[in-house]
Amino acid sequence: MLLDPEAAGDEVAAVHAPSDHKDSSLFAPDSGQAWVRLALAVVIGSIGSVGMWSVVVVLPVVQAEFAASRGAASLAFTLTMLGFGLGGVVTGKITDRFGIVVAMGLSIFFLGLAYVAAGLSTTLWQFIAIHLLIGLGTSATFAPLMAEASHWFERYRGLAVTIVASGNYVGGTIWPPLVNWGIQSAGWRTTYIAIGIFCAVTMTIVLALLRVQIGAAAPRSHENAPRPRVDLQLSTNTLTLMLCIASISCCVAMAMPQVHIVAYCGDLGYGVARGAEMLSLMMAFGIVSRIGSGFLADRIGGIRTLLIGSVAQGFALLFYLFFDGLTSLYLISAMFGLFQGGIVPSYAIIVRESMPAREAATRVGIVIFASVFGMSFGGWVSGVIFDASGSYAAAFLNGLAWNAVNVAIVVALLIRARQRLAMA
């Protein structure tokens, strides 16, 4: 084996080994065809991410129609996230076994069917339960799609992964106003049914184009993918566990501003509308962060990129403790979005850099499921801490503590990578 530190930055022991592919003429990484595939993947991800955003917009209307409590109606979001997390593991496994086209086809089927069924639901519990399927239908548009895109690139792998991941934020920018317009114009039921039909039709068309690009000869892109270039001398299960713990920790911290910024602004007397604007600002700067982190990962590797994002996120959380003026909160929220947007895709980059391509989608799905759990737990525990203390200060401190756990794990991986490089 020949050392090639430049391939993944001086943080890792890079391995210059033959590719896994059987016929390199079928597809060339970083080619024009790869960029076409990437563009189609972003379109699919942006459309399919509707499942993450529509329930937030429709929540007040559904609550009023069914005369339910806010907590009961909010269970629809909880089920969506559960389906999204579990579905990422399932569709990731399907992607590794049968290819992204099969996995995405199943997701499209469930997404379209679930939205129509939700629009026809007659009780609140039917509506809530169906959102498990909506989460499942959305799942293939994130973790498996990131893993798939990583097989199409080598030089620009980090950038490709983060561009695909940005589809979720693009959907978060486009879908909420469209869903709100549909609710105001035709009602939430008609809007949900229309979303189901629209997603089923448009995503199937784009998927068919992607299928043509992939071709019949190599439906499983990982068969033609280069081998891992990072050797940490850890088993895949051990590394997956470490990344899951790190992912949970950083997302517990991440959830504090994202879930509670609107309520926080209301408590400070600025109004919930200001908080909603700050949340949108986070998402917008998150897109910039995700793409920027991809450029960075291609130069210094996924582990270093994750460490930079995690440390920066900690500083942003710290600023929330000392500044609560309206202008300050806008600036800190923008800064938080700029710092945290690239963290989650970094896990997918690390998986692809250090684990076999044949199981990348499954492993990414597991780590993303951990991040979903971290976000869900972080949002809940921050509310519990607020109820107990009467202030969000303790919740921000809790987020900082969890963020420190994440930083410690990433530093441990970085130290091990340097040691492996020295030993090699």
Q: What pLDDT is stored for residue 275 in this prediction?
A: 80
Q: What pLDDT is stored for residue 1 in this prediction?
A: 32
Q: What pLDDT is stored for residue 12 in this prediction?
A: 37
For the residues 256-268, what does the mean pLDDT come to? 83
Task: Centre a 10 Å sphere on the Cβ of residue 206 and count the other Cβ atoms it contains.
Answer: 21
Q: Is 29 strand, coil or helix?
A: coil
Q: What pLDDT is stored for residue 16 in this prediction?
A: 34
For residue 24, the surrounding DSSP H or E stretch is: none
Q: How far apart are CA 47 and CA 390, in angstroms?
A: 40
Average model confidence (pLDDT) across the chain: 85
Domains of the chain: 29-224 (1.20.1250.20), 236-423 (1.20.1250.20)
Residue 224 one-letter amino acid: N
Asked if residues 259 and 379 have their Cβ atoms less than 8 Å apart, the reply is yes
Query: Percent of the chain having pLDDT more than 90?
Result: 47
Q: How far apart are CA 312 and CA 64, in angstroms?
A: 41
Asked if residues 351 and 361 have their Cβ atoms less than 8 Å apart, the reply is no
Q: What pLDDT is stored for residue 419 in this prediction?
A: 60
The answer on pLDDT for 47 being more than 90 is yes
DSSP 8-class letter at 25: T
283 against 325, higher pLDDT? 325
Candidate from 64-73, 320-329, 333-342, 383-392 with smallest mean pLDDT: 64-73
Q: What pLDDT is stored for residue 26 in this prediction?
A: 56
Asked if residues 379 and 260 have their Cβ atoms less than 8 Å apart, the reply is yes
Q: What pLDDT is stored for residue 231 in this prediction?
A: 65
pLDDT digits (tens, 9 = 90+) for 278-322: 887 888 888 888 889 999 999 998 999 999 999 999 999 999 999
Distant-in-sequence, close-in-space partners of 39: CB < 8 Å, separation ≥ 6: none
Residue 300 one-letter amino acid: I
- Rg of the chain over Cα atoms, rounded to whole angstroms, equals 21
Query: Which tokens sit at 299?
Result: 């130069």
Q: What pLDDT is stored for residue 221 in this prediction?
A: 53
What pLDDT band is residue 421 in, cutting at 50, 70 and 90?
A: low
Query: Which tokens sit at 316?
Result: 């942003």
2 against 309, higher pLDDT? 309
66-73 long-range contacts (CB < 8 A, ≥24 apart) are 66/123, 66/124, 66/127, 68/124, 72/124, 72/128, 73/124, 73/128
Q: Is 257 strand, coil or helix?
A: helix
Helices 100-119 & 124-139, crossing angle to 10 degrees? 160
What pLDDT band is residue 23 in, cutting at 50, 70 and 90?
A: very low
What pLDDT band is residue 141 in, cutting at 50, 70 and 90?
A: very high
